[in-house]
Amino acid sequence: MTTTAARILLVEDDPSYSRLVQYWLRAAGHEVRLASTGPEGAALARQGGWDLVLSDVDMPGCSGFVVLGESKRAHPKVSAILMTAHEEVSLASTAVDWGVDAYMVKPISRPKLMERVEQLLTRQRLEATPARVILAIGAHPDDIEIGCGGTLLAHRAAGDEIVLLTLSRGACGGQRDVRVEEARQAASKLGGTLVFGDLPDTSIQVDRSSIALIEDVVRRCKPSVIYTHSQNDLHQDHRAVHEATLIAARQVPTMLCYQAPSTNIEFCPRRFEDVGAHLQGKLELLACYRSQEARSYLAPDMIQATARYWGRFAGFSSVEPFEVLRAAGMASAAS
């Protein structure tokens, strides 16, 4: 799932359906251009400038296969979704031959279409090659911002690309959809790409599901630094995420563990990131989590006091503390 607007070309001749799809995409913040014939769609696809091309298969003038095929030939990195009213195996295999990324059978519901669109856009962004990628991993919405929100803002200010992976949607700590939306808002404010897993809240295990999810994101975005939970934590999901990260991200050169409200007295940081310039920004990220505002650990004075307390170990500034699992040649976030 992503939070950044994309440029989408919609090739669809059914006026009522195209109105609906345009409305859904624009409501999610995307820019949409409509082509209502095959040749018009193919010409716009060739011209480029799109992140995603979405085409119906039965178009007047030429088929959606031609539109998407032209798009892929001219711009291989553009994602392509084919929509069809016919569920036929031969169509699906032809779609693969033409390099189509996703094949959807009508009627397509709003959640289904938007989930697929966001998946493809996220994959595309993760596979882009920025200067340095920082991956922050958390079990629940808000874990990452509490543990290292200020440090991530410092990374962002230094030009690093931020990827956030949250393994569950926090269904036990509130309404799942509300929490997902809050996390999207926080990621948007941070300027990061958000990837959501859907593991069961409070029952995350160190098994194939958690390890594969982390491995997949690591493989796609190739981070040089990972921030994750500490093993010194009383929450079973946090400990499971810590362990799954150790296994899945064994090749990543730097791995640091952040503090959570449930970290225990054994939490023993050796690295302190100065977040004085980003403390206000961190509070703004946390303010996105309105459904959690009654939680005492999210109170702004608690966040500020915690940063000040740890500052006693680092020149009395405001800092975020980290345990160091590995730190291969790592400079500070602000450098």
DSSP 200: P
Distance of CA 312 to the CA centre of its chain: 34
Cβ–Cβ under 8 Å, residues 27 and 55: no
Site residues (CB under 5 A) for Zn ion, limited to 49-78:
none
Residue 40 to residues 1, 7, 17, 169: CA-CA distances in angstroms? 30, 17, 18, 41
Binding region for Zn ion (CB under 5 A) out of 5-13, 35-43, 142-150, 263-271: 142-150
CA separation for the pair 232, 210 (Å, rounded): 19
Question: By CB under 5 A, is residue 183 in contact with Zn ion?
Answer: no
Residue span binding Zn ion (CB under 5 A) among the ranges 137-145, 160-168, 305-313, 319-327: 137-145
> How far apart are CB 168 and Zn ion at their closest, in Å?
8
88-114 residues labelled b (16+ CB within 10 A) or e (exposed)? eeeeeebbeebebbbbbeeebeeeebb
Pick one of 12, 143, 182, 323: the residue that binds Zn ion (CB under 5 A): 143
- 195-214 residues in contact with Zn ion (CB under 5 A) are none
Shortest Cβ distance from residue 302 to Zn ion (Å)? 16
- Could you tell me if residue 112 is left (phi over 0), alpha (psi between -120 and 50 degrees) or otherwise beta? alpha
Tally of CB atoms within 10 A around 158: 15
Candidates 7-15, 40-48, 82-90, 135-143; binding stretch for Zn ion (CB under 5 A): 135-143
Tokens coding 202: 């409070």
Contacting residue, 30, 140, 155, 184, with Zn ion by CB under 5 A: 140
Query: How does DSSP classify residue 131?
Result: S
Q: How far is the CB of 235 from Zn ion (least distance, A)?
A: 6
Residue number, 212 or 234, with CB nearest to Zn ion: 234
Q: What residues form DSSP beta bridges with 7?
A: 31
Q: Does 139 bind Zn ion (CB under 5 A)?
A: yes
Distance CA 327, CA 46 (A): 45
Closest residue to bound Zn ion by CB:
140
Residue placing its CB nearer to Zn ion in the complex, 140 or 220: 140
- Measured CA to CA in angstroms, residue 85 lies from 35, 55, 247 at distances of 18, 12, 43
Stretch that binds Zn ion, among 131-139, 198-206, 299-307, 319-327 (CB under 5 A): 131-139
How many residues touch Zn ion under the rule CB under 5 A: the total is: 3
Task: Tell whether residue 179 is a contact of Zn ion (CB under 5 A).
Answer: no
Stretch that binds Zn ion, among 139-147, 187-195, 240-248, 268-276 (CB under 5 A): 139-147
Q: Measured from the CB atom, is 143 or 323 closer to Zn ion?
A: 143
Supply the minimum distance, in Å, between the C-beta of residue 67 and Zn ion: 44
Binding residues (CB under 5 A) for Zn ion: these are 139-140, 143
